[in-house]
């Protein structure tokens, strides 16, 4: 009797091949011919409506005993996913600091998934260890950090590692900083020395989460004052560091931001580095967003001073359109990784196996890591340095175009901050309030003299955004800056053109006029 006759888990080869080809064809169609122009950016639906949408094919829930479904039903379910998803490649999706996935990166991601290995040891991922090392060497070279150079043979100990996102990269960096400060940390645990971590008021919220997870405590986070545009004030940093030292705390690290999330402000890296040297603090650069300016000869000046960092994180899935996630953590002294994270597991990292010195798994907290290097490497080989530079230059050019349109709008739109890079931050102004002096209005609001005008402006942006979602015409973000909700157009998708900018601003003006008339 065949022991698999009744429980054989293997699929019917022909049927399975047919399903895979149909699903892949649907995905490929979306990659090579994505929505654009007046196509919906999203067909927004409530959770209840989404549950109903799947009911005609396979249902959303899995149930107590989930059955298998035929190919037609599964394909229909996949179409439902496509139909109701946000199309981040749409040129009128300006909502997040990622957009416009490069088709080569998408296919590179598929290839990595198809090979289905982990970047832990050389023996199971030989090609990917070399790709990762070559990429890290080139990225470190661009940042000015020590590296063997982009033309050299990739080293077995590259100047960094790939991580699943910027927040995890920050965790690694702060643990490395603490290990440098407390060399017996791994064996004896953290001592009672009170520490401080400094980040600007505009810096990423991940700093608080990182210190909480590392047991340092959120009381250790010191938020440093910024200028009007959101860049760290180096004088305020020095004052803050001196104050914490006077209280008996040790400055562990300073997190400088190269491209803040909202305004894309760049902290003055050289001046921050000087303060770190004075206090022997670890200098970490959060370049998740803005580090890609290094690809452009016209814009890399924003990162002046990056060569002085102890660590720097760089998200290639943001401005460069590599699929999520693709995060590089660059290190001045990558040899610190082994001292901080190695466990020497004998079943995996045998010292006597071939090319064991390449094994990256024992230099990280993770063991198995996704192959995130392949999609970036293929995209870079397809586009080249010039193509990467052009992507950055186009993004800034479109942001400049939006700034020009806003400036010529006769007061219909008013800029709130302007860092001159890819983020355009502004408010739409109702006709009855034009011309609007935002600074004056903010002063009156802060003193309680503005009546309900400021409150009504603050409540207007969410209503405009809701109309965009309901009609699927565009997606952009809003957030409070200087006390009022403002719109933020994020430019990084190379498909965005002047017509898209005009269309999005036109939608905001139309929705704004209609919603303002109904505000209490």
Same domain, 365 and 389: no
**pLDDT at site 453:** 79
Structure confidence at residue 484 (pLDDT)? 86
Q: Total domain count for the chain?
A: 3
Residue 440 is predicted with a pLDDT of: 77
**Residues in the chain with pLDDT values less than 50:** none
DSSP letters along 227-238, please? -TTS-B-HHHHH
Tokens of 2: 């065949």
Do residues 179 and 294 both lie within one domain? yes
The domain boundary, picked from 370, 396, 418, lies at 370
Q: Which long-range contacts (CB under 8 A, 24 or more apart) does 332-335 make?
A: 332/145, 332/146, 332/159, 334/157, 334/158, 334/159, 334/160, 334/161, 334/363, 335/157
Closest CA to 139 of 387, 307, 371, 258: 307
- Residue 402 shares a structural domain with residue 330: no
Residue 379 lies in a domain: no
Dist. CA 287–CA 293, nearest whole Å: 9
Domain end marker among 370, 397, 418: 370
Is the separation of the CB atoms in 396 and 422 below 8 Å? Answer: yes
Nearest to 120 by CA among 347, 380, 377, 381: 347
Whether 73 and 126 map to the same domain: the answer is no
Tens digits of residue pLDDT in 446-489:
666 566 778 888 899 999 999 999 999 999 999 988 778 999 99
Residue 314, strand partner residues: 328
Co-location of 161 and 305 in the same domain: yes
Q: Is the same domain home to 391 and 360?
A: no
Secondary structure of 427-481 in HEC code, one letter for each residue: EECCHHHCCCCHHHHHHHHHCCCCCCHHHHHHHHHHHHHHHHHHHCCCEEEEEEE
Radius of gyration of the chain (CA): 25
* Residue 334 counted as domain residue: yes
Whether 61 and 145 share a structural domain = no
Confirm whether 325 is domain-assigned.
Answer: yes
428 shares a domain with 334: no
SS3 at position 194? coil
Tell me, yes or no, whether 478 lies in a domain.
yes
Is residue 218 within 8 A of residue 199, CB to CB? The reply is no
For 343, other C-beta atoms within 10 Å of its C-beta total 12
Residue 351 has what pLDDT? 84
Question: pTM to 2 decimals?
Answer: 0.95
Give the CATH number of the domain where residue 504 resides. 3.90.1150.170
Residue-level pLDDT at 85: 95
What does the pLDDT read at residue 337?
A: 96
What's 137's domain CATH number? 3.40.640.10
pLDDT of residue 450: 60
In a domain, 8, yes or no: no
Domain that holds residue 70: 14-87
Same structural domain for residues 62 and 205?
no
Give the pLDDT score at 404. 98
**Does 483 fall in a domain?**
yes
Looking at the structure, do residues 41 and 165 belong to the same domain, yes or no?
A: no
Structure tokens of 20? 């895979």
pLDDT in tens, 208-225: 999 999 999 999 999 999
pLDDT at 266: 98
- 313 and 401 belong to one structural domain: no
Of 323, 339, 370, the position where a domain reaches its end is 370
Residue 107 covered by a domain = no
What pLDDT sits at residue 451? 62
490: in domain: yes
Q: Are residues 427 and 471 in the same domain?
A: yes
């Amino acid at each position: 009797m065949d022991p698999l006759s009744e429980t054989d888990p293997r699929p019917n080869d022909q049927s399975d091949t047919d399903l895979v080809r149909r699903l892949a064809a649907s995905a490929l169609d979306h990659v090579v011919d994505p929505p654009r122009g007046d196509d919906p950016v999203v067909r927004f639906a409530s959770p209840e409506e989404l549950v109903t949408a799947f009911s005609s094919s396979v249902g959303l829930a899995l149930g107590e005993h989930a059955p298998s479904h035929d190919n037609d039903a599964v394909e229909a379910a996949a179409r439902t996913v496509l139909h109701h998803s946000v199309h981040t490649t749409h040129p009128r999706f300006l909502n997040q600091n990622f957009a416009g996935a490069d088709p080569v990166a998408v296919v590179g991601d598929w290839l990595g998934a198809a090979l289905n290995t982990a970047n832990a040891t050389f023996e199971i991922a030989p090609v990917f260890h070399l790709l990762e090392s070559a990429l890290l060497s080139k990225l470190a070279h661009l940042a000015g950090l020590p590296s063997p150079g982009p033309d050299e043979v990739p080293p077995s100990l590259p100047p960094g590692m790939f991580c699943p996102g910027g927040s995890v990269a920050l965790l690694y960096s702060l643990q490395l900083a603490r290990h440098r400060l407390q060399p017996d940390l791994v064996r004896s645990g953290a001592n009672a020395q009170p520490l401080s971590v400094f980040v600007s008021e505009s810096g990423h919220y991940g700093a608080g989460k990182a210190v909480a997870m590392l047991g340092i405590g959120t009381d250790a986070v010191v938020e440093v004052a910024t200028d009007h545009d959101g860049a760290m004030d180096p004088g305020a940093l020095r004052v803050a560091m001196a104050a914490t030292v006077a209280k008996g705390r040790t400055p562990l690290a300073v997190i400088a931001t190269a491209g803040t999330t909202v305004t894309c402000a760049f902290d003055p890296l050289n001046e921050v580095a000087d303060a770190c040297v004075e206090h022997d603090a670890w200098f970490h650069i959060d370049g998740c967003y803005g580090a890609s300016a290094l690809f452009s000869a016209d814009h890399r000046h924003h990162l002046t001073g990056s060569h002085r960092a102890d660590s720097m994180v760089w998200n290639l899935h943001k401005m460069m359109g590599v699929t999520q996630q693709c995060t590089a953590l660059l290190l001045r002294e990558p040899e610190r990784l082994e001292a901080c994270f190695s466990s020497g597991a004998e079943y995996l990292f045998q010292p006597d196996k071939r090319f064991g010195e390449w094994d990256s798994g024992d230099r990280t907290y993770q063991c198995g890591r996704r192959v995130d290097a392949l999609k970036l490497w293929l995209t870079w080989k397809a586009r080249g340095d010039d193509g990467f530079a052009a992507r950055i230059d186009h993004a800034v050019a479109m942001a400049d175009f939006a700034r020009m349109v806003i400036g010529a709008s006769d007061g219909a739109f008013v800029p709130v901050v302007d860092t001159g890079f890819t983020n355009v931050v502004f408010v739409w102004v109702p006709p009855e309030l034009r011309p609007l002096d935002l600074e004056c209005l903010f002063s009156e609001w802060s003193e309680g003299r503005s009546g309900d005008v400021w409150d009504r402006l603050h409540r207007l942006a969410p209503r405009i955004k809701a109309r965009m979602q309901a009609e699927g015409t565009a997606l952009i973000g809003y957030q409070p800056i200087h006390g009022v909700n403002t719109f933020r157009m994020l430019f990084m998708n190379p498909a965005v053109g002047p017509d898209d900018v005009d269309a999005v601003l036109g939608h905001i003006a139309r929705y704004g006029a209609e919603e303002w008339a109904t505000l209490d």
